[in-house]
Every structure is written in C-alpha cells, then in structure tokens.
Structure 1
Amino acid sequence: MHSLPLFHRIAGERVVVVGDGDMAEAKARLVTRAGGIPCAETEAHHAQLGFVALENGRKAEAAALRLKRLGLLVNVADRPDLCDFTLPSILDREPVLVAVSTGGASAGLAKHLRLRLEALIPETIGRLADRLSASREAMRTRFPDGAARRRALDKALAEGGPLDVLKVDSHEHVDNWLQGGSDKLAGSTEEFKLTSDDPDDLTLRQARLLGMADTVQHDPDIPEAILVRARADARRIELPGEPPAEGLTVILRLDR
C-alpha cells in the first residue's frame, strides 16, 4: 500500500484552507460537510490539518512548508509530492463511507471508480449499517461468543444471505435474522491449488473466500502478496496442520 487509509474526525475542529477561487472553495465545502470549521492560515495554531489550494507553485510550496513547521498535516492541490495526505473520491451513504484513492496519481480514475460503485451499492446501505449498530446488544445476546458472532454476521451479509449488502431491502430483515439465526455454525473448508504466485491470478471466487476466511492454511511457499488478501485478523497456519472445527478455513497449495 502506498498509504495508510484513515478516516479523520474533524467535527468542531478548525482546518486551515489557504487559497481562493474554485479549488479552495471546494476544499472548504468538504471540510464543512465533515463538520469541520474552515479557517485562515492565521489560525493554524488551533488546527491539525491544512489544505493549500494555490495556482502558483512556489507560493503553494511555501505555504505548505509554513504549515508543516507548525505541526500540521498538509494537502497541496495537484502536488502529491508535497502532500502528507491525499483526498480520496468519496461515496457517501452515511454512516457508510467508501473512499477510493490513487495516491494522487489520477483523480479522474478515482472518480470514475467511485461512480461505478455508486451504481452498485444501494442507497439503503446506510440504513443497514444503522440497524446493525442498533442491534449490537441483541447480536451479543444471540451469539455470545465473539468469533461465532462474526461468522454469523459474515454469512448473513454475504451474497445471497438474508442481509446481502447489495440488496436494497436488507435493512428490513435484521430483526428476523436475529430471531432465526443459528447459535452454532459448522466449520467449512475450501481448498485451492494455485498455479501462480501472482495475486492477480486469483479467481473471483478464490479472492472472495480468502477475504471471508477465519483461518488460512497454506504451503510455506505461498507468497505474502497472496496471504494479505485474507482478513488481517484471520489465523494463519502452515501446512501440514489440523484445521479448526469452526469457521471457514481456506487451504492454499501451490501447484506448479
């Protein structure tokens, strides 16, 4: 990864915006939309973030250096080399936010990826997030074990599940799912023989199941570039070894 993706809360906080014209106004609107308070460089001692939107390259660089000396993280429009952080293209389905970043390589590419995602992700996904948040205690009661709770939710949110994330009415079925969910989920195993050590050669099904796996069992020579396609909290077990009795286990073997 070229950057560590973070969502920074700025509600009620001052954020410096240096510049004028359309570019600076767009940054100020974004700050306001996130609950922040756009302010001038003279108030930089109250801020943690700053945006520089100046057409003149030398002036933009000088402003960025001034803000950085004061300890601010700075974004400079059209100058990724000067940026401490970059702005993604944002799909807002509050409280769900999807951010697409190219690390400043191409804002146009990020925008068009976001537009495709907007057509794919239903407007109601935010309602599903709200219902799940409101049901946390009910989920803990139904599935007291944390690992079992995560597996039950994964199964429900998956394609074809009762809370399928791409169905427009999934938020309406949360209560029914909680009433009818199983307390014990049997373990399942999927085994793949990979003919390549390039993660781009994974099939869609392999990539999807790898991303859902609770445990990844693998040959010692499976490259890290493939293993990182699994969840960060998934257990890794080198073969040979016994798979866990619960959850989804994906076995990866390299077949050359």
Structure 2
Amino acid sequence: MHSLPVFLRLQGRAVILTGEGEAADAKRRLLERAGARIVGEAAEATLAIVSDGDAATVQRLRARGILVNATDRPELCDFTLPAIVDREPVLIAIGTGGASAGLAKALRQRIEALLPARLGLLATALHDARAAIRQRWPDAAARRRAIDAGLAVRGLIDPLSDKAVDAVPHWLSEGGGLWTGADRLENIRLLSGDPDDLSLRAARLLGEADRVYHAPDVPAAILDRARADAVRILADAPPDDPGAGLSLWMEMTP
C-alpha cells in the first residue's frame, strides 16, 4: 500500500492554494465543498495545493513543514487528491497515487452507477439508531454480526437497495435479518497466493470473519483481504474450538 487513505476535516481550516487557471479553479471548488478556508502562500497552514505543479513553490512550502499536493507532479506530492463519490455523509475515494487520474475517474463513474442516491440517508438512519442498536444487541460481537447480516447482499438493509433506509426499523425488530446466531468454522483452500485468484465465496468470508486461523504458508497479501479488525491466528491445523461467530481456516492447496 503506497499511501494511507484518510479523510481530513477541513471545515474552517486554512489550506494554501497557489497557481491560476482551470486547475486552480477546480481545486478551489473542491476545497470550498469541504469547507476549507483558502489562503495564499504566505499564510500559516498545514496543507497546500500547488495547482500549477511549480517545483520551487513546492520546495518553499515543504521547507516550512507543510504537506503539499502538486497537480500532475506525483513525484512532488506528499498527498494526492482522489476521485470522489459523494453520497453525503458517505464518501468513497478512489486513488491511484497519481499514476492515472483518468483511471480513477473511470472507476468513480462505474461506482456512481452502482450506488443508490439514498445511500447517504441509510448512513444517517443507522447513525440516528445507534442507541437502539446498542440496546438491541448489548454484546459488541453480536452487534457487529447483526449489522453485517443486515448489510449483506439481500439483507434487510442491503446498502445497494433503494428500500434499505425504510427497512431500518424492521431490521431492528427482526434482530438482524440473515444472522442465525450459529457459530461456525469455514474452510478455505487456496489455489494460489494471488488475492486476485480468490473465489467470490472466499472474498466474502474474509470480509465477514471474526477471526482467521491460517497455515504458515498463507501469504500476507491474502490475509490483508480480511476485515481489519479480524483476529489473525497462525496455526498448524484447524482449531477444535474456534470461538464465537464466524472463523476461517485457511491453507494452501498442496
């Protein structure tokens, strides 16, 4: 991973913008949408966008400890600006590390077509229901599994369904929809160490698992496809007692 994706809250914060023309105008509109206070090069700030990619300006700003984005000069960038899918408050950012803005744009357009216009309303409804969700599932692990089940494909609040936001009260009353409460261990035998060769089933299970037991030869690139908060456990054989929720046993095919 060449960069750490982050979402910066810029409301009311100073951001330096230098340069003129269409590129500067585009960056100004983006910063204004984010609520940033746009200032000149001499002002105090922690971020700067050099819209004309001028190397000398970048050097001056970096000498002051400012993180810089230089338009069309990825080799000069401390951070890059992604293509953005905006379903407020849901934001999806697509970055290529400056390799190809055109590719990021094409991916954004594809994702835009997939996501319902009401996706942001679903996020807001889940935020407003946080107290009710905690009351319905006091145990954190059970709560996460219920949320995962509700948001799964064809779940009661499947985010790709236009009806999801209206189904939130029903999801709460039904106890999460698809989740059955059964603890289980799923076996995955990998045909290769390339994440692109994962089956749809394996990719889905990695995204849902509470813990991943794995043989020593399972590559890190595969384990990286699991949920960030899933526990990784190195083992020589499948566990006798894998624990609550969904556990995986992963090994390479001989």
What TM-score do the two structures reach when normalised by structure 1?
0.94
- Asked whether 1:75 is paired with 2:69, we answer yes
Structure-2 residue corresponding to 1:93: 87
| 2:57 match: secondary structure | helix
Q: In structure 2, what is the Cα distance between the partners aligned to 1:243 and 1:76?
A: 53
* 1:185–1:246 Cα contact (<8 Å) kept: no
Structure-1 residue corresponding to 2:190: 194
Q: In structure 1, what is the Cα distance between the partners aligned to 2:74 and 2:142?
A: 43
Q: How many residues align?
A: 250
Structure-2 residue corresponding to 1:33: 33
- Superimposed CA distance per residue, residues 180-235 of structure 1 (whole angstroms, 9 cap, x where no aligned partner): 20698221332121121221111122112111111112112111111111011111
| 1:42 match: secondary structure | coil
Q: In structure 2, what is the Cα distance between the partners aligned to 1:132 and 1:108?
A: 34
- Asked whether 1:64 is paired with 2:64, we answer no
- Asked whether 1:203 is paired with 2:199, we answer yes
* 2:185–2:242 Cα contact (<8 Å) kept: no
Letter matched to residue 201 of structure 1: D
**How far did residue 242 of structure 1 move?**
2.9
* 2:210–2:231 Cα contact (<8 Å) kept: yes
- Greater shift in the superposed pair: 204-213 or 132-141: 204-213
Structure-2 residue corresponding to 1:242: 240
**How far did residue 253 of structure 1 move?**
1.8
* 2:134–2:143 Cα contact (<8 Å) kept: yes
Q: In structure 2, what is the Cα distance between the partners aligned to 1:88 and 1:250?
A: 34
- Asked whether 1:161 is paired with 2:151, we answer no
Q: In structure 2, what is the Cα distance between the partners aligned to 1:67 and 1:33?
A: 24
Alignment of 1:224-243 (within 5 A): 224-237=220-233, 238-240=235-237, 241-243=239-241
- Superimposed CA distance per residue, residues 136-170 of structure 1 (whole angstroms, 9 cap, x where no aligned partner): 11111000011110111001100011011110110
Q: In structure 2, what is the Cα distance between the partners aligned to 1:184 and 1:206?
A: 20
* 1:215–1:250 Cα contact (<8 Å) kept: yes
1:132 corresponds to which of 104, 126, 131: 126
C-alpha root-mean-square deviation of aligned residues, in Å? 1.4
Q: Where in structure 1 are there 5+ consecutive unaligned residues?
A: none
Letter matched to residue 48 of structure 2: G
Q: In structure 2, what is the Cα distance between the partners aligned to 1:236 and 1:190?
A: 15
**How far did residue 39 of structure 1 move?**
1.3
| 1:251 match: secondary structure | strand
* 1:148–1:184 Cα contact (<8 Å) kept: no
* 2:50–2:69 Cα contact (<8 Å) kept: yes
**How far did residue 67 of structure 1 move?**
1.0
Q: In structure 2, what is the Cα distance between the partners aligned to 1:33 and 1:78?
A: 21
- Superimposed CA distance per residue, residues 26-50 of structure 1 (whole angstroms, 9 cap, x where no aligned partner): 111110000101111121x2x1110
Q: In structure 1, what is the Cα distance between the partners aligned to 2:248 and 2:129?
A: 30
Q: In structure 2, what is the Cα distance between the partners aligned to 1:215 and 1:243?
A: 12
1:104 corresponds to which of 98, 117, 124: 98
Q: In structure 2, what is the Cα distance between the partners aligned to 1:193 and 1:36?
A: 49
- Greater shift in the superposed pair: 119-128 or 191-200: 191-200
Structure-2 residue corresponding to 1:53: 51
Alignment of 1:174-185 (within 5 A): 174-181=168-175, 185=181
**Greater helix share, 1 or 2?**
1
What TM-score do the two structures reach when normalised by structure 2?
0.95
Q: Where in structure 2 are there 5+ consecutive unaligned residues?
A: none
Structure-2 residue corresponding to 1:19: 19
